[in-house]
Chains A and B, each alone.
Chain A
Amino acid sequence: MTIANSIFTGTLGGLILHALYAMLSQNAVLGRGLGSSRMTKLVNDEDGDAGVFCVLLFVVQVLSGALSWLAGQTVLPLLGAARVHLRPLVLVLCISVVFFFLFLVVVRLFPTEAARRVARQLPIAAFNCSVLGTLLLMGNQSYDFLQTLAFSAGSAIGYMLALLMMIEGNRKLKRADLPESFRGLPSTLVYLGILSLLIYAFTGHGLSV
């Protein structure tokens, strides 16, 4: 009990709570619908590259989160009133820097075939509504550097968990006796909707009928 108390009242505890907050109640896909177009594609992906996508998404999200925090401290204040309109551009530039860095790392470190596979997933993971949406959310919350990292990591893990649930659900839906027009995207969306309502109820909301 004492150890648990010290964890949840200290800095580490705060960071874990930020990560959990991003993972569950602020889940990018199930709580806000961010990256849902990409997820419906990944769920029906026959190549099995969803794992590579998840790892890349995590790295891109954390690194661009760190860069966007720096940009928020240095570049954005210089833009004055125009920063409302230019913020997405600054954040996209942060993501682009991470994209180029990871591209170089992948080309240098991985053997040719694996590098090709990773490089194919890299733009899909980097230029994603979920990544940009999380960066915008963190900017609105005025987090410090460590909180930014924790929230970024939590958001990426939340996306992964949602994707895992969707892949498993989709596997079962494929075996189910569904009408032809409901197969694929429509059944995936209905399942996503049920999970999203579940998260909504889980965070203490209810319907005012």
Chain B
Amino acid sequence: MIDKLRGYYAINRDVLENRDRIFLNNPVVMQGMGLVPIVAVSNTLRDACIMGLAVLLLLTPTRIVAAFLSRSTHFRFRAVAYSVTSALIYALVSWLIVDVFKLPTQAIGLYLPVLVLEPLIIKRYARTGTERMGNATTKGLITTVGFLLVMFLTAACRELLGAGTFFGIRVFANAPVPYLYFLGGGFIFVGVFIALWRNLVQIFKEGAKKA
């Protein structure tokens, strides 16, 4: 299976390195984007689900609308177009999460509205060229999947090791590594997680070269 993947990578290397946002070019692992929701919020799977839903509803629509608006915006002011678009779409997302789905957002607190200016959502403004709508949709969706994958993996590990529970169900009588539940522990865990992920990518690439 891994050999097949390596062979596929060796043939389609350029396309994959440019487009893949899940393993090879994961936005969190390779560019350090989306750290606030991952480090500060994702210490339980329940909070990660709410945050993940918000990112899912916010990222791609913001990217599409902002890509459209950026066509007639001067490069220097593109950050305003992306940020205001993100804040407008956030109003709708917040209404859906709080008033329609009635999800408990108290534990997330200010981290939900802070998503509006998260580099993961608005970082595209820094690139000089304008983005085509189709491209914005595809890249928005792939980036979302890559982000959610890292967020759920870190949330599951941190909840299990930091609180001794899994989705609120007690697994260990005492939390094995309680400091992982806190912000500082989150930074350390994500740092180690990223190092391991990058190591895997390196091993995969070297294997593909030999293949």
Measuring CB to CB, which residues of chain A are less than 8 angstroms from any residue of chain B?
31-38, 40-41, 82, 84-89, 91-93, 95-96, 99-100, 103, 119, 123-124, 126-129, 131-133, 136-137, 140, 179-182, 185-190, 192-200, 207-209
Q: A85-B98, A92-B84 are in contact. Are A132 and B91 (CB under 8 A)?
A: no
Report whether A119 and B76 are in contact in the complex, using a CB–CB cutoff of 8 Å. yes
Q: What residues of B have a CB within 8 angstroms of the CB of A88 in the complex?
A: 87, 90-91, 94, 113, 116
Report whether B187 and A193 are in contact in the complex, using a CB–CB cutoff of 8 Å. yes
Give the contact stretch, choosing among B64-72, B136-144, B174-182. Answer: B174-182
Report whether B114 and A188 are in contact in the complex, using a CB–CB cutoff of 8 Å. no
Give A124 to B91 CA distance when docked, in angstroms.
23
Report whether A189 and B187 are in contact in the complex, using a CB–CB cutoff of 8 Å. yes
Q: Which of B40, B86, B178, B183 has the most CB of A within 10 A?
A: B183
Report whether A140 and B87 are in contact in the complex, using a CB–CB cutoff of 8 Å. no
CB of B95 within 8 Å of the partner chain: yes
Q: What residues of B have a CB within 8 angstroms of the CB of A32 in the complex?
A: 40, 183
User: Which residues 74-94 of B sit at the A interface, judged by CB distance below 8 A?
Assistant: 76, 79-80, 82-84, 86-88, 90-92, 94
Report whether B184 and A197 are in contact in the complex, using a CB–CB cutoff of 8 Å. yes
CB of B202 within 8 Å of the partner chain: yes
Report whether B114 and A133 are in contact in the complex, using a CB–CB cutoff of 8 Å. yes
Report whether A196 and B184 are in contact in the complex, using a CB–CB cutoff of 8 Å. yes
Report whether B83 and A96 are in contact in the complex, using a CB–CB cutoff of 8 Å. yes
Q: Which of B117, B174, B186, B194 meets A209, CB within 8 Å? A: B174
Measuring CB to CB, which residues of chain B are less than 8 angstroms from any residue of chain A?
32-36, 39-40, 76, 79-80, 82-84, 86-88, 90-92, 94-95, 98, 110, 113-114, 116-120, 122, 125-126, 174-175, 178-179, 182-192, 194-196, 198-199, 202
Across the interface, name the chain B residue whose C-beta is closest to A190. B191
Chain B residues touching A, majority SS:
helix
Q: What residues of B have a CB within 8 angstroms of the CB of A181 in the complex?
A: 195-196, 198-199, 202
Q: What residues of A have a CB within 8 angstroms of the CB of B183 in the complex?
A: 31-33, 193, 196, 200
Report whether B76 and A103 are in contact in the complex, using a CB–CB cutoff of 8 Å. yes
Q: List 24 A-B contacts (CB under 8 A).
A: A32-B40, A33-B35, A33-B186, A34-B36, A35-B36, A36-B187, A37-B119, A85-B91, A88-B91, A89-B90, A92-B116, A93-B84, A99-B80, A127-B79, A127-B80, A127-B82, A127-B125, A129-B118, A136-B110, A140-B110, A181-B199, A186-B195, A187-B191, A193-B185
Give 6 nearest A-B pairs by CB, closest first.
A193-B187, A189-B191, A197-B184, A196-B184, A123-B79, A193-B188
Q: What residues of A have a CB within 8 angstroms of the CB of B179 in the complex?
A: 197, 207
Across the interface, name the chain B residue whose C-beta is closest to A123. B79
Q: Which of B32, B88, B94 meets A84, CB within 8 Å? A: B94
Across the interface, name the chain A residue whose C-beta is closest to B123. A37
Q: What residues of B have a CB within 8 angstroms of the CB of A195 in the complex?
A: 184
Q: Distance (Å) between the CB of B210 and the closest chain A CB? A: 18
Give A181 to B119 CA distance when docked, in angstroms.
23
Report whether B117 and A127 are in contact in the complex, using a CB–CB cutoff of 8 Å. yes
Q: Which of B95, B117, B120, B126 has the most CB of A within 10 A?
A: B117
Q: A92-B84, A181-B196 are in contact. Are A209 and B178 (CB under 8 A)?
A: yes
Give A199 to B198 CA distance when docked, in angstroms.
29
Report whether A189 and B190 are in contact in the complex, using a CB–CB cutoff of 8 Å. yes
Q: What residues of B have a CB within 8 angstroms of the CB of A38 in the complex?
A: 119
Q: What residues of B have a CB within 8 angstroms of the CB of A182 in the complex?
A: 191, 195
Report whether A95 and B83 are in contact in the complex, using a CB–CB cutoff of 8 Å. yes
Q: Which of B32, B84, B86, B87 meets A37, CB within 8 Å? A: B32
Across the interface, name the chain A residue whose C-beta is closest to B96. A85
Report whether B95 and A33 are in contact in the complex, using a CB–CB cutoff of 8 Å. no
Q: What residues of B have a CB within 8 angstroms of the CB of A196 in the complex?
A: 182-184, 187
Give A38 to B123 CA distance when docked, in angstroms.
10
Give A89 to B115 CA distance when docked, in angstroms.
12
Q: Which of B35, B98, B175, B188 meets A194, CB within 8 Å? A: B188
